[in-house]
Structure 1
Amino acid sequence: MTRILHVLDHSLPLHSGYTFRTRAILKAQQAAGLEVRGITGLRHAAEGPACETVEGLTFHRTPGEPSGPVGLREWREIARLADAIVALAETWRPDVLHAHSPALGGMAALRAGRKLGLPVVYEIRAFWEDAAVGNGTGQEGSLKYRMTRALENRVIAGADAMFTICHGLRDDLISRGFDGGRIGIAPNGVDLSLFGEPPSRDCALAQQLGFGEESVIGFIGSFYDYEGLDDLIAALALLREQAPGTRLLLVGGGPMEQALQAQARQSPASAAIHFTGRVPHAEVERYYSLIDVLAYPRKRSRLTDLVTPLKPLEAMAQRRVVAASDVGGHRELITDGVTGTLFPADDPEGCAAALAGLLRRRESWDAMRQRAQQHVADNHDWSRNVRRYQDVYHLLLGRSSNRQVSAAA
């Protein structure tokens, strides 16, 4: 049985879009007959044993904590993780190392792969220098930004095969001069077996929140600046002029939470804006049941133009109506008027107009939901998408480990 060791930044039991994608990949590979494990670097910030099984998946931890000045600290992290991979390979002998961004893990996998004589696959889920800009911890063009990109370029050049999660990321790599023939796409996906019929409206929760029969626009996720929730709050007052009584439900939290709450208090529609704070993962479905339209008003930036988010796909898989800004990442997932509604990014008036039009066309929702769910089944089902990896693994294992192969088959 082929063994794949996934090299990760962090993993379950932590909950994030990153860990949920990892879980989906590993579960689908297990179902396809592969033997898989994960190993995390020093940034997995969760208490637990050195080897941990979560939801039937095995994860190994790299001991220690990041230390030292910027630059030296990262090289120490790479060295620690590379040593941990080599040590694990002495007892659990993988056939392929599959590293996932950021580049710290990719570089560690390259070092370990050379020492062990194993092929290395590197997968980019986002450019982490752009993600840092998006979440307010970095600045475009800064020294750290350029160093992060340079390190990633080294990993890409050294890997035996490459994957990205979407066309935006792949096209950007090609523009840097990398061969598109060895960069495959493993798009964000969902495990359709987890989604049945959407749950009926949770009347008890609606009563608790003071909701009646009004239309509800909702967002469930992390409150980062690039998510554009300030535009959604600004759009609500305009929307209520065309669709009186409409409410906005914001579920989650994050760096922008206090600023968004302050903005909401100043809004003429303040009484119709509801913040729940973070809710337990097991409770999220209750809030989904109250939402008529899930809105994703991301602002335009390199991050949002190049990266496809997971949340809209999960909503579409659950046969929910979605509306999103027309940034590149959303355009890869949603066809306007067919599988959802797109509206101009960074434009509260355009957002309000699009949402008002969608609320007026409720008779079209069932067909839109069906098309959206079918789109996900045809293009984003992990049970199908996982085959893209297997084809590349087989090519790598059939050739010498230092030859770069095409990932585009």
Structure 2
Amino acid sequence: MKLVYLTSIDLDRAQGGCKNHVLGIVHGFQKLGWDVELISAAANPEAHLDLSVNHTKVLKKRASLPYQLLEQWRTWMLLRNRKSRPDTFYIRAGRSYVIPGLYAAWHKIPFFVEFNTLIEMEANHRWLVPIAVALENWLIRRSTGCFAVTPEIKNYLSQRAGVVSDLFTVVPNGCEQRVIQESRAFTVHHPRKNEPVIGFMGSFEPWQGVETIIRAMPFVLEKVPMARFYIAGRGKLESFYRDEVARLGIQHAVQFSGYIEPDQIQHFLHQCKVLTCPRVAAFDESGIMKHVGTSPIKMFTYLGSGSTVVTSNLASMAIFKPCQAVIFAEADNPEDYAEKLIYALLRTPEEFDTNAESARSFIESGYTWDALAEVTARDMLAKLESE
């Protein structure tokens, strides 16, 4: 199978989750014997990035509209000048990546589209968003098949584009097998400390819900005075988070750890007795949709590292119900989160050891990138054969 994988993500600059997803699937395809070419955006096409795959970069200096349009033009020219015809395109949908679908449809090349989120949840421009939605709907209707990371995204996009839901296949995010192996080895030499540390690792975006944990900390500190909350990451809400910490007077209990380099992730995770993924509720009190549930890569990384996790009891998190290392709390409810965090922090070391292996086994049961790439490839081949 000769496949061209296209994404508008700048892999040189991408945060861990996006990059891991792209490379996890691409390398999984390669292990199946597929001939894969990766085409991605890049602010600096000359930057060396060893991805162990045939990689072509398309210049996009910034994410502004003019540069996105230029990226589309450059992508079209790149595809037009190709000397060989691929068997299929795999397009990781992005707000500016419609051109590969147009090219594939024009040249009658089968193509698949993967959706991790929704354009209308990430942008609010009054006339650009409707245009982008219309183009995405067209892309879905003309595709050979689509992949969504959660049933919620699948159902929403199926209805929005007016297609049968069978066109979509749900393939969640995952974790590298390497994370599990490194975690087991790391634990042997650096046993997890029995200190009441709560951790979060990720981008500082509104849907992450970090403020819920900050607001839960005063309740946690009443029962566990030595509890600490380590917040690792970066983003536009950092000043808001810091202001909340100051307002609550809990500066002594909250540490902003900054961006964690990939080779330091295991060290950070093993500092924490409990990790958290406090996603906000999908709808506000008026019933207005704030976001459609995504599949947070951090959850798979947390579990692959053998961690106990407290997360929001949302439909998009139902996939983790079978894992005994995951504890569910009511989204956006600091008091309920505090109760669940206290319960988790007070577990015995023996219980944490049991949970650690349960967490890793859950990932190994079908949520490594290799396993997910195999599911994706099998679905693609079936749909290509049925065309």
**Aligned counterpart for 2:113 among listed residues 119, 122, 130:** 122
Q: Deviations along 1:218-240, whole A, 9 cap, x unmatched?
A: 11111122211111111111101
Measured after TM superposition, the shift of residue 144 of structure 1 is: 3.4
Q: Please name the residue that 1:343 is paired with.
A: 329
Structure 2 letter corresponding to 1:171: N
Q: Does 1:311 align with 2:298?
A: yes
Q: Please name the residue that 2:39 is paired with.
A: 39
- Unpaired stretches in structure 1, ≥5 consecutive residues: 133-137, 207-211, 404-409
**Aligned counterpart for 2:267 among listed residues 281, 286, 302:** 286
Measured after TM superposition, the shift of residue 345 of structure 1 is: 0.9
Q: Please name the residue that 2:88 is paired with.
A: 96
Cα distance in structure 1, aligned partners of 2:323 and 2:173: 22
Structure 2 letter corresponding to 1:154: W
Cα distance in structure 2, aligned partners of 1:201 and 1:273: 28
TM-score normalised per structure 1 = 0.83
Q: Please name the residue that 1:55 is paired with.
A: 51
Cα distance in structure 2, aligned partners of 1:321 and 1:67: 37
Structure 2 letter corresponding to 1:313: F
Measured after TM superposition, the shift of residue 213 of structure 1 is: 6.1
Cα distance in structure 1, aligned partners of 2:115 and 2:383: 19
Q: Deviations along 1:253-290, whole A, 9 cap, x unmatched?
A: 11111121122123233211111222333223222121
Cα distance in structure 1, aligned partners of 2:189 and 2:202: 20
Q: Please name the residue that 2:221 is paired with.
A: 240
Measured after TM superposition, the shift of residue 390 of structure 1 is: 2.2
Cα distance in structure 1, aligned partners of 2:39 and 2:74: 12
* Bigger mean CA deviation after superposition, 189-198 or 154-163: 189-198
Cα distance in structure 1, aligned partners of 2:322 and 2:30: 36
**Aligned counterpart for 1:174 among listed residues 158, 165, 169:** 158
Structure 2 letter corresponding to 1:54: D
Cα distance in structure 1, aligned partners of 2:158 and 2:128: 22
Q: Does 1:354 align with 2:340?
A: yes
Q: CA, structure 1 residues 263+336, in 2 after alignment: closer, same or farther (shift >3 Å)?
A: farther
Q: Please name the residue that 2:178 is paired with.
A: 193
Cα distance in structure 1, aligned partners of 2:62 and 2:233: 29
Q: Does 1:30 align with 2:30?
A: yes
4+ runs deviating over 6 angstroms: none
Structure 2 letter corresponding to 1:355: L
SS of the equivalent of 2:295 reads coil
Contact 1:195/1:317 (CA < 8 Å) preserved in 2?
yes
Measured after TM superposition, the shift of residue 40 of structure 1 is: 2.0
Measured after TM superposition, the shift of residue 358 of structure 1 is: 1.7
Measured after TM superposition, the shift of residue 115 of structure 1 is: 4.1
Q: Deviations along 1:271-328, whole A, 9 cap, x unmatched?
A: 1111122233322322212100001112113565421110011110111111111233
Measured after TM superposition, the shift of residue 250 of structure 1 is: 1.0
Q: Please name the residue that 1:209 is paired with.
A: none
Contact 1:224/1:256 (CA < 8 Å) preserved in 2?
yes
Measured after TM superposition, the shift of residue 46 of structure 1 is: 3.5
Q: CA, structure 1 residues 101+46, in 2 after alignment: closer, same or farther (shift >3 Å)?
A: same
Q: Please name the residue that 2:201 is paired with.
A: 220
RMSD, matched Cα: 2.8
- Unpaired stretches in structure 2, ≥5 consecutive residues: 283-288
Q: Does 1:231 align with 2:216?
A: no
Q: Please name the residue that 2:285 is paired with.
A: none
Q: CA, structure 1 residues 340+31, in 2 after alignment: closer, same or farther (shift >3 Å)?
A: same
**Aligned counterpart for 1:163 among listed residues 147, 157, 168:** 147
Cα distance in structure 2, aligned partners of 1:153 and 1:7: 18
**Aligned counterpart for 1:325 among listed residues 312, 324, 335:** 312
Structure 2 letter corresponding to 1:243: V
SS of the equivalent of 1:36 reads strand
Contact 1:5/1:38 (CA < 8 Å) preserved in 2?
yes
Q: Deviations along 1:179-221, whole A, 9 cap, x unmatched?
A: 1112112221122134221624999xx9xxxxx9641001111
SS of the equivalent of 1:104 reads coil
Alignment length, in residue pairs? 375
Cα distance in structure 2, aligned partners of 1:216 and 1:120: 46
SS of the equivalent of 1:62 reads strand
TM-score normalised per structure 2 = 0.87
Measured after TM superposition, the shift of residue 155 of structure 1 is: 0.8
Q: Please name the residue that 2:77 is paired with.
A: 83
Measured after TM superposition, the shift of residue 350 of structure 1 is: 0.9
* Bigger mean CA deviation after superposition, 376-385 or 10-19: 10-19
Q: Deviations along 1:360-382, whole A, 9 cap, x unmatched?
A: 33353333333322222123122
Cα distance in structure 2, aligned partners of 1:387 and 1:305: 26
